[in-house]
Structure 1
Amino acid sequence: MADGATARAERALKNARPKVFWLDPEIEGHDLPEPAPPLTGDVHADLVVVGGGFSGLWTALIAKERDPGRDVALVEARTAGWAASGRNGGFCAASLTHGYDNGAERWPEEIAELERQGRANLDGIEEAVRRYGIECEFERTGEILAATAPWQAEGFEESAAALHALGYRAQVWDAERMRQEVDSPTYVGALHEPDAVAMIHPAKLAWGLRAACLELGVRIFEDTPVRAIRSTHVGLRLETSGGALHAPKVAWGTGAFPGPLRRLRHYLAPVYDYALMTEPLSDEQMASIGWKARQGLSDASNFFHYYRLTADNRILWGGYDVVHHYGGAVRPEHDQRPETFQKLAEHFFENFPQLEGVRFTHTWGGVIDTCSRFSGFFGTAYRGRLAYAVGYTGLGVGATRFGAQVMLDRLDGLDTERTRLRMVREKPLPFPPEPVRSLGIGLTLRATAAADRNDGRRNLWLRALDAMGLGFDS
């Protein structure tokens, strides 16, 4: 017979719909745009953008802003925002490096500049949302990193001091102060960054960017996967099932789906991430947890949870499990994983026992384009005619706008503050081929779980990966 925690989670999940909350047309206010027609015949453009997620949409939009006369065409294999851009947690972070600590460890000599450009990038997103009238529930709430065990809080003072030295706000809270902000018996402390993160409705941001692109004259073709790339004497030919696109320049922003750009497969390890969404909380339930400032939250374990409030006071609760399938297999049947949803639901009620009886309305998952350095990387192919940005490892909602500018800088041959960054000029270490890749990832996941159980102590395997600049995270 199921124990109390298991039964409670099962009851809460009983009637949940197996679909992405943000993309569910049955939710009030989710007015999905009519799909654009697929490409047929031959289409010529000055710039072709491949991918209708945040990377591609920002690229197309900024390309038209920089040069309104530039003929831009965007192709998407399904519909704009259907993949990671439309199903993430909605944390729009200033960090370009998957957090300050990761950036400071990898690029210590330019972390101040990376932080400056990242915060300017977040300001740019906020300004674009305002200028184009994008109703995406943008709230610049900041973020709390919560410690649920003493070892997780050990680096908070150092991180806060480093941010203060760069001129940014950060506070370290003890358990009592943290519980005044958001009440959970699990908290032992927290690091609060009030300015570095905004909460958004990710699908509405994607739909709003799509509408802005169309308004500026971008031609969009959906249900149009690119099957092959061919060099021509004047540029590149992108072949699809219904025709072909011809352009002297191509921006490639396909996330975990590299398609015919095979070189990316050496650097990407697709992993699955999962999330739950609750029903709207009552005023009494909201009062029981506090959370009046509506910050985004995550805990500081290696396998962490991330969680936030929606506009109608639901709680999105995701993360923790990191699932990699042999060969990097990406299949629709992997999007639902009942054992992970059960685990997440049990953890939810451990964190918020005062929400006993709350039901989950949606369960979903999807693939993330993970790379060995956790943050996006950039490059060119086909003698500089194609630029790509990929590998954001779950923190691409904000950083993809920066990546879009890098791609355009590269394609236009510009020397900018972005292209001069060592972070932009370097590539992550590639993953080994199969079966070593999956064996290594499995060993890393087991070792990381053991570190969480042992006060963060990392074994020899993890220390060796650290020394090589490799790692794994959700």
Structure 2
Amino acid sequence: MNDQHIDAVVQEARPVPLWLDTPDRPAPRQSPPGDKHASLVVIGGGFTGLWSALRAKERRPDRDVYVLEAGRIGNAASGRNGGFCEASLTHGVHNGLNRWPEEYEELERLGRENLAGLIQTIKRYGIDCGLEETGMLTVATEPHQVAGLEPAELGFLDQDQVCEVVNSPTYLAGRVETGDCILVDPARLAWGLADAAESLGVRIIENNPVTRIRRQGCTMRIETPQGVVAADQVVLATNAFRPLLRRLRLSTVPVYDYVLATQPLTSEQLQAVGWSGRQGVTDSGNQFHYYRLTPDNRILWGGYDAIYHYGRRVHPGLEDRRATFELLARQFYDTFPQLTDVRFTHRWGGVIDTCTRFCAFFGTAKDNKVAYALGFTGLGVGATRFAADVMLDLLDGQRTERTELAMVRKKPLPFPPEPFAWIGIQITRRSMAAEDRHGRRNLWLRVLDRLGLGFDS
């Protein structure tokens, strides 16, 4: 595939997220200006905030709940991801066992219960989000990755077997897992959660950024351009965007992830790829791809090139990175050479809140009047529902099996300030790329392992 062709197919793609590019997108929720009061105010209208609002009303229907969103519902990470919704709360088995070996079985159980509850919510409220309970296919594309798929376990596929599931000459082995991953249209899930919350009485205000929160007597004062909202309790669900609590400013770094989507495949093109099981697919590298079929049989293809911008920058101009899209396009055609005639219709980027332990952390502030959860590191489609329950437990002062977890009680180490964060992340990215090629962790990565630090998308 020559550079001219790659440049052309990337240029043709519209720079807009596939999931948001639909006339079905709801109009912004408007609200009359003026001061308001609520028992609970949720700041952020992505998955974390929407689950928090919905779960709060399901627990206590009499609770007065507001959601304040700076832009549009589901416009950030919640409407830009691949739609992989996993049971894991710990960014996979390896990370969970390494960090919380004593409670990993409990975390695994809670994750599966959380996913089951999420599916029940989708069905109970009739949320039309393209739910597919197809499971996950993990593939090895380098010889040293094959052993990591644990050939002795049920679900292992050798090279011939994995290519019968999805046909790619890059696959050396694979493993199919069912029951721990579903696929959704993430934007429609967000819009459906908003509708469900409103049906219970939640009030949602879009295009209304919170500029400041502060304690005033027994309540929290939340300042916005449309007025002040007084709240008894607050949930912070701002994720990758600048946190409103100073203590959280070094806890995460914003990392940009990029995605391409093809035109809908013809029946002949689908037959050339196989993929009759419609599983979500990921490869086994540190710099990994994730890809899937959409409900209209496009291939959504993303990941690999996670980009951190100096100074923890977040800006719409960073969402369209041509060098990354060209790299992704070339890798797509390498993976599926039988699809060289397929073009891309959409290209987009989004920002992920990454923390040093690869999965969400939790806490409270302002004398337990404010709860927060962030650092989902690309695992937020399912884990945000669990996080909502954790935050509501903490605000209510409840001791539950969730709040007693070491994962909930302990915080990750923060990232350093600049320029050390940028330097460290660049060294780590190069080291991970070298491990993907050679299968060996260098001294830098081994030191980070000892310190419990990391960087991932």
TM-score tier (shorter):
over 0.9
State the percentage of identical aligned residues: 56
For 1:327-352, what per-residue CA distance to the aligned partner results, in whole angstroms no more than 9, with x for missing partners? 10011110000010000000000000
Deviation at 1:39, TM superposition (A): 6.2
One-letter code of the match for 2:232?
Answer: P
Matched residue count: 457
- Output aligned runs, 1:162-311, within 5 Å: 171-311=155-295
Q: How does 1:433-448 map to 2 (within 5 A)?
A: 433-448=417-432
Contact map agreement 2:142 2:437 (CA 8 A) in 1:
no
Match of 1:463 in 2: 446
How far residue 173 of structure 1 moved from its aligned partner, in angstroms, is: 1.1
**Unaligned runs of at least 5 residues, structure 1:** 162-169
Higher mean C-alpha deviation, range 4-13 or range 352-361: 4-13
The aligned counterpart of 2:96 is: 103
Q: Distance in 1 between matches of 2:251 and 2:156?
A: 36
Q: Classify the secondary structure of the residue corresponding to 1:41.
A: coil
Whole-Å separation in 1 of the counterparts to 2:454 and 2:143: 23
CA deviation map 1:102-151 (0-9, x unaligned):
11111111111111100111101100000000000011111111100111
What secondary structure sits across from 1:145 in the alignment? strand
Aligned mates of 1:113, 1:89 — CA distance in 2:
27
Q: Give the Å deviation of 1:218.
A: 0.3
Give secondary structure in 2 for the equivalent of 1:266.
coil
Q: Which residue of 1 aligns with 2:455?
A: 472
* Rounded Cα–Cα distance in structure 2 between residues aligned with 1:108 and 1:149: 28
Partner Cα distance (1:79, 1:13) in 2: 27
> Which residue matches 1:63?
56
Give distance in 2, aligned partners of 1:122 and 1:460.
37
The corresponding residue for 1:12 is 9
CA offset digits 1:238-293 (Å, max 9, x no partner)? 11122111111101111101342222221111110000000000000000011011
Deviation at 1:11, TM superposition (A): 3.4
Cα distance in 2, alignment partners of residues 323 and 51 from structure 1: 23
Following TM superposition, by how much is the alpha carbon of 1:383 offset from its aligned partner in structure 2, in angstroms?
1.1
Moved more, 335-344 or 233-242: 233-242
Distance 1:141 1:120 in 2: 18
Deviations 1:82-110 (A, max 9, x none): 00000000000000011111111111111
Cα displacement string for residues 402-451 of structure 1 (whole angstroms, at most 9, x for unaligned residues): 00000000001111111111111111111111111111111111111122
Q: For the residues of structure 2 that align with 1:39 and 1:88, how far apart are their CA atoms?
A: 32
* Counterpart in the other structure of 2:336: 352
What secondary structure does 2:436 align onto? helix
Find the aligned partners of 1:100 and 1:232 in 2 and give their Cα distance. Answer: 44
State whether residues 256 and 368 of structure 1, in contact with CA within 8 Å, keep that contact through their aligned partners in structure 2: yes
CA distance in 2, matches of 1:38, 1:354: 51
Residue 92 of structure 1 is matched in structure 2 by 85
- Stretches of structure 2 lacking an aligned partner (at least 5 in a row): none
**Could you tell me whether the CA contact under 8 Å between 1:229 and 1:239 is conserved in 2?**
yes
Change (3 A) 1:435 1:173: same
Mapped to 2, the partners of 1:372 and 1:124 lie a distance apart of 28
In the alignment, residue 21 of structure 2 is paired with which amino acid?
A: D
Q: What is the distance in 2 between the residues matched to 1:347 and 1:50?
A: 38
1:38 CA drift (Å): 4.9
